Amino acid sequence: MRQFILSITALLLSCIVGHAQNTIFLSEGKIEFTRTVNLIARITPDDDGFSDLMKKTMPKFKRTYFQLFFSHNQWVYKPGRENPENNKLWEEAAETNVVSGDYSTGRSVSQKEVFGETFLIQDSLRRIRWKMTDETRDIAGFTCHRANALIMDSIYVVAFYTDEIVTPGGPESFSGLPGMILGISLPHQHITWFADQVEVIPITKPQLTPPTKGKKCNNAVFSKTLTDGLSRWGKYGRKYMEEAML
């Protein structure tokens, strides 16, 4: 009997140790994201009377790829590989964005191209009031927890983050959760970002270097520049501004 109990105890310990060994908390690596825009869903009947023509000539979805390098409290999100299926005719805002964040300093540097001009936006990390939920889903092999938020007064955000990657970053300016954000959905804007793969690789200092090119400004100045430039663009201008400010 004593030998039987010892055997069961050893088996249980083996299972516990094995489970612990399979739980790996990453602090460094590379993530590939796919940004998907539902172009058809974004068209409304009052789009200058061209909605039917636009639906016939444009693809339903446009997918662009980004990569995010992370190490501890720092990360850099930038354009990744080209998608040969994309047509420049349907180019969207934010397709060339480079966004860096440093959670230890609370600062962010973003490089964005609008109106044919490059802006270098230096400001604090966006403060997002996340509301946690009990929902989970698997993304790129990681268990992710759902959190919801409202940004820019009206944009509803659904995020999925994993605490198995300790860097509190994410695509674009989404951050501030207890782990890496691997999925973002803006249901009303019909835009999503989801991680396709996570690579455990050593990260070099140049890979984490913030962008340096562009006209220097902060978020308030950048927002005013967009507002002034898009004042006559109507509803399309508002859509463009929302994307550019993400």
pLDDT tens-digit map of 184-220: 999 999 999 999 999 999 999 999 999 999 999 999 9
Domain ranges for the chain: 26-245
Q: E strands of the chain, at which residues?
A: 28-38, 61-71, 74-79, 98-102, 107-114, 117-124, 131-139, 142-151, 155-162, 180-186, 191-199, 215-217
Q: What is the pTM of this model?
A: 0.86
Name the CATH architecture for the domain at 26-245: Clam (2.50)
pLDDT in tens, 153-184: 999 999 999 999 999 999 999 999 999 999 99
pLDDT in tens, 114-157: 888 999 999 999 999 999 999 999 999 999 999 999 999 999 99
Could you give the CA distance from residue 76 to residue 207 in angstroms, rounded to a whole number? 7
